[in-house]
Amino acid sequence: MSSLGGLLDVRPLRTSAAFRRLWISTSCSTLGHQLAVIAVLVQVWDLTDSSVAVGALGLAQAVPMVVFGLVGGALADVVDRRRLVLATTVGQVFVAAAMAAQALAGVDSFGLVLALVATQCAFAGLGAAARRTLMVALLPDTQLSAGLALSNLSFQVAMLVGPALGGVVTGVWGPGICYAADAGSLVIDAYGVLRLPTVRPSSTRERPGPKAIGRDD
């Protein structure tokens, strides 16, 4: 076993260039997302001085993730999953860029921020199911547990470092810089996905639609 300090199996990073690109690009976008999470909380509070508005922000994030997550799960069964993830990531890039633009321009519109957050979460939800299958397609069965451990490690590091870094950046330079960093990290993510091989759907028996979404296999 190839390991880091005898504790972590890093074979997937050493043996699979595709997984390595995916891991690096996803790690970057996860960190960038954490910066944006802090920035949008600060911006909404500054705009409204209202805990109700902050709660509405939570709904704007959760509802599109759930609804479009169901649609994305059905799509992942019938389309090239790499292309689906790429398309939804590119969508998130444009929304993150719009978030940066409105913050840097001082638009000061809570409604606009809410709409952009909901749109970005809709794109994320649409690609979430397909994204979760990429690692399985890239690694042999013997390395899947190691790949999952590496992915979990990068996620936990981003969750620890991201909010603290986001607080510092927002406090010094403002939310717009955090949004710009998020957009940049998503560009890296999109490039990483673009370089992956095609990931065909596991089943083409059914077109996506209401029946596919509500089906209980």
53 DSSP β-pair partners: none
Residue 210 covered by a domain: no
Write the pLDDT tens digit of every residue in 30-44. Answer: 999 999 999 999 999
Residue 190 covered by a domain: yes
Write the pLDDT tens digit of every residue in 75-95. Answer: 999 999 999 999 999 999 999
Domain total in the chain? 1
For the domain that residue 188 is a member of, what is the CATH number? 1.20.1250.20
Euclidean distance between CA atoms 140 and 104, whole angstroms: 45
Write the pLDDT tens digit of every residue in 149-203. Answer: 999 999 999 999 999 999 999 999 999 999 999 999 999 999 999 999 988 886 5
Residue 173 covered by a domain: yes
Residue 22 covered by a domain: no
pLDDT of 201: 80
pLDDT at residue 71 tops 50: yes
Residue 17 covered by a domain: no
Range of the domain at 39: 27-196
Residue 206 covered by a domain: no
Residue 3 covered by a domain: no
pLDDT of 209: 45
pLDDT of 216: 44
Residue 16 covered by a domain: no
pTM, entire model:
0.88
